[in-house]
């Protein structure tokens, strides 16, 4: 809506032509760059009212300042002079800015925690302006940490939030036995994928995801033998770390938590090789059960760090010297 013009000095003897149904195309240009102006003649039928209105629709293609000037004029040739049948010219200065990228929102889900064996569901959401030419595509950001096997659960959902539209994608991820001790920022892309007259804008949003170490979330049909095999140990060792299990043949309760090892706090002079020998295991086995030390050197364990160790009682007993 560009505005209105008033014919306060209307000519009673003038003959006004009917409105023309011509179509007009406004070609975008930046007034600051000296782009030539465009003139459009709009004809209308004079009614018994003081104000006459006409609307123009325009889709900007280039950011910048655009000046629209307009006036109402009788061009029939039956007026005493142009001044008698012309309104005062008015102008509108429009400042067109580039459409920004979507805005990432996580609310109370910015930090997520789960257990090995527990399916993690979470929403990835972006806000954008409510417009038919706005559509946000959500994808995994692959230039950092990723959740192997994470998949979208169904289609994205679009809902109004205040004056904006929120696009949300439900994701599902199953952390297997290799993810104990995982902790880091996992990121996603929000991309403007629609609109013919602008560059696609991309926003990266991240969530903190943490997986508890040394604990397995029991699933239906799980047994001590199956769980022990996932961690390269034996059922007797797992039973030992869960004193509330009165009998190894008892059925495990689904959705309960099962200890699969011992949490150990690193002391001065500790090394992977030293701990492996002390607990009857191997450096590789210790690293396998602690995602965050997979690539650490033998002597690179930080003092005070908590790690998961699954000892081999049989091996340690064999090294005991009896006196």
User: Mind listing the pLDDT tens digit for each residue in 26-42?
Assistant: 444 444 444 444 555 55
pLDDT at 160: 94
CA-to-CA separations, 187 to 159, 168, 203, 270, in angstroms, rounded: 22, 14, 10, 34
pLDDT mean over 44-64: 68
User: Mind listing the pLDDT tens digit for each residue in 244-287?
Assistant: 998 888 889 999 999 999 999 999 999 999 999 999 999 999 99
pLDDT at 161: 94
Residue 85: pLDDT band (50, 70, 90) is: confident
User: Going by C-beta distance under 8 Å and a sequence separation of 6 or more, which residues neighbour residue 245?
Assistant: 224, 239, 252
Q: How many angstroms separate the CA atoms of 275 and 194, rounded?
A: 56
Q: How high is the mean pLDDT of the chain?
A: 82
Share of the chain above pLDDT 70, in %: 77
Q: Which residues sit opposite 140 in a β-bridge?
A: 188
Residue 72: pLDDT band (50, 70, 90) is: confident
pLDDT mean over 186-202: 83
Residue whose entry in the numeric block shows the structure tokens 């109370």: 108
CA-to-CA separations, 251 to 9, 38, 176, 223, in angstroms, rounded: 95, 82, 21, 7
CB 149 within 8 A of CB 188: no
Residue whose entry in the numeric block shows the structure tokens 């205040």: 162
Does residue 303 register a pLDDT over 90? Answer: yes
pLDDT mean over 194-215: 88
Q: How many angstroms separate the CA atoms of 300 and 283, rounded?
A: 12
CB 134 within 8 A of CB 197: no
CA-to-CA separations, 293 to 232, 302, 309, in angstroms, rounded: 18, 10, 12
Domains belonging to the chain, first-starting first, are: 1-97 (no CATH), 103-212 (2.60.40.10), 215-318 (3.10.350.10)
Smallest Cα–Cα separation from 101: which of 198, 168, 206, 170?
198
CB 216 within 8 A of CB 117: yes
């Amino acid at each position: 809506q560009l505005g209105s013009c008033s014919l306060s000095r209307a000519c009673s003897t003038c003959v006004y032509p009917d409105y023309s149904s011509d179509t007009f195309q406004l070609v975008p240009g930046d007034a600051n760059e000296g782009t030539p102006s465009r003139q459009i003649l709009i004809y209308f039928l004079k009614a018994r009212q003081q104000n006459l209105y006409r609307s123009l629709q325009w889709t900007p293609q280039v950011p910048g300042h655009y000046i629209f000037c307009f006036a109402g004029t009788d061009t029939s040739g039956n007026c005493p002079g142009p001044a008698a049948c012309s309104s005062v010219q008015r102008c509108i200065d429009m400042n067109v800015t580039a459409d920004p990228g979507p805005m990432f929102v996580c609310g109370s889900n910015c930090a997520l925690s789960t257990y090995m064996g527990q399916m993690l569901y979470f929403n990835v959401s972006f806000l954008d302006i409510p417009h038919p030419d706005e559509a946000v595509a959500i994808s995994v950001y692959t230039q950092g940490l990723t959740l192997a096997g994470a998949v979208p659960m169904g289609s994205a959902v679009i809902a109004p939030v205040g004056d904006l539209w929120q696009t949300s994608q439900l994701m599902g991820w199953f952390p297997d036995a290799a993810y104990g001790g995982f902790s880091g920022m996992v990121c996603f892309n929000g991309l403007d994928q629609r609109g013919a007259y602008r560059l696609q804008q991309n926003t990266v949003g991240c969530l903190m995801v943490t997986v508890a170490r040394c604990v397995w979330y029991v699933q239906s049909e799980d047994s001590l033998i199956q769980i022990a095999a996932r961690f390269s140990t034996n059922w007797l060792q797992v039973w030992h770390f869960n004193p509330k299990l009165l009998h190894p043949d008892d059925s495990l309760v689904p959705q309960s938590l099962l200890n699969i090892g011992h949490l150990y706090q690193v002391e001065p002079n500790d090394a992977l090789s030293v701990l492996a020998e002390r607990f009857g295991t191997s450096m590789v086995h210790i690293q396998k059960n602690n995602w965050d030390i997979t690539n650490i050197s033998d002597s690179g364990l930080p003092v005070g760090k908590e790690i998961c160790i699954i000892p081999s009682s049989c091996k340690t007993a064999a090294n005991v010297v009896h006196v």
